[in-house]
């Protein structure tokens, strides 16, 4: 839930997550955009649903893939940018 009280954001843009278009506000991390969609952001080694955990760059459970490049980044540290395409693997 994005907090509305006392917060002003700039005009949103879109990013694509697993083919799905999601709104993102300038300054938001990829993690923030993802968590508005679902707490699940991937699968664990054994195939179970995986969520993020520490939100401070320490646990790496929020690893996502930037497409098409393939670079894998921690979503909680990486700002969303217009046109960004993300894979959750």
Partner 1 sequence: MQNADVLIVGGGLVGCATAWHLARGGAQVVLVEAGDIGMGASGQNAGSLHFQLERRFLENGEALAEQAAQTAALNRLAIDDWRRLETELGADLHVVMDGGLMVAETAEQVAILERKVARENAQGINTRLLDGDEARTLAPCLSPGILAAGFLADEGHADARSVTRAFAQAAAASGASLHSRSPVTSASRIERHFEIGFRESTVRAERLVLACGAWTPILCAKLNLHMPLYPVALQMNATERTGPRIGHLIQHVGRRLSMKQTDAGNILIGGGWPARLASDPRGAFDPAGKPVLIPASLAGNLRAAIDTAPFVETLNLIRTWTGVTAISADQLPIVGEVPSMPGCWVAGGGSAFTLGPTFARLMAQAMVGTPTPELDIVSPARFEHLNSFMG
Partner 2 sequence: MAERYDLVIVGGGPAGQAAALALEGNGLAIGVIDEQLRPGGQILRQPPREFSVASWMTGKVYAPLLKQLRQFEAATGIDWLGGRSVLGLAPDAGHGFALTVSGRDGVETIRASRVLLATGCQDLAVPLPGWTLPGVYTAGGIQAFVKSQQIVPGNRIVMAGTHPLQLLIAAQIVASGGTVAAVLFAQKRRTMMRQLAGHALKAAREASALLPAGAAMALLQRHRVPVRYGESPVAILGKDRVESLRSTEREIACDAIGLCYGFVPQSALPRMAGADMIAGSRAGGWSTECDAWFRTSVAGLYAAGETTGVAGAAAARTAGTIAGTGIAIDFGLVSEEEATSRVSHARSERARHLEFADLLDTIADPSGHFPRIEAETIVCRCEDVPSATITPLLDGRSANAVKLASRCGMGLCQGRNCEPTLLRLLAGSGRTDEDNGFTARFPARPVMLGDLAAPK
CB of 83 vs partner 2, minimal distance in Å:
16
Q: Kindly write out the interface string for residues 28-67 of this chain, putting x where it contacts partner 1 by CB under 8 A and - elsewhere.
A: -----------------x-----------------x----
- Measured from the CB atom, is 11 or 19 closer to partner 2? 11
Coil, helix or strand at residue 54: coil
- Distance, in Å, from the CA atom of 77 to the CA atom of 73, rounded to the nearest integer, reads 8
Which one of partner 1, partner 2, none interacts with residue 4, CB within 5 to 8 A by kind?
Answer: partner 2
Residue written as token pair 């990486």: 78
Provide the token pair at 12.
């949103």
Upper half-sphere CA count for residue 73 (Cβ side, 13 Å): 17
Residues forming the site for partner 1 (CB under 8 A) = 45, 63, 69-72
């Amino acid at each position: 839930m994005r907090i509305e009280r006392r917060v002003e954001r700039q005009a949103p843009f879109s990013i694509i997550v697993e083919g799905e278009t999601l709104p993102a506000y300038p300054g938001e991390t990829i993690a923030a955009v993802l968590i508005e969609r679902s707490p699940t952001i991937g699968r664990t080694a054994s195939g179970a649903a995986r969520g993020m955990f520490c939100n401070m760059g320490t646990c790496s459970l929020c690893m996502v893939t930037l497409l098409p490049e393939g670079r894998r980044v921690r979503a909680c540290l990486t700002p969303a940018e217009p046109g960004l395409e993300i894979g959750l693997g």
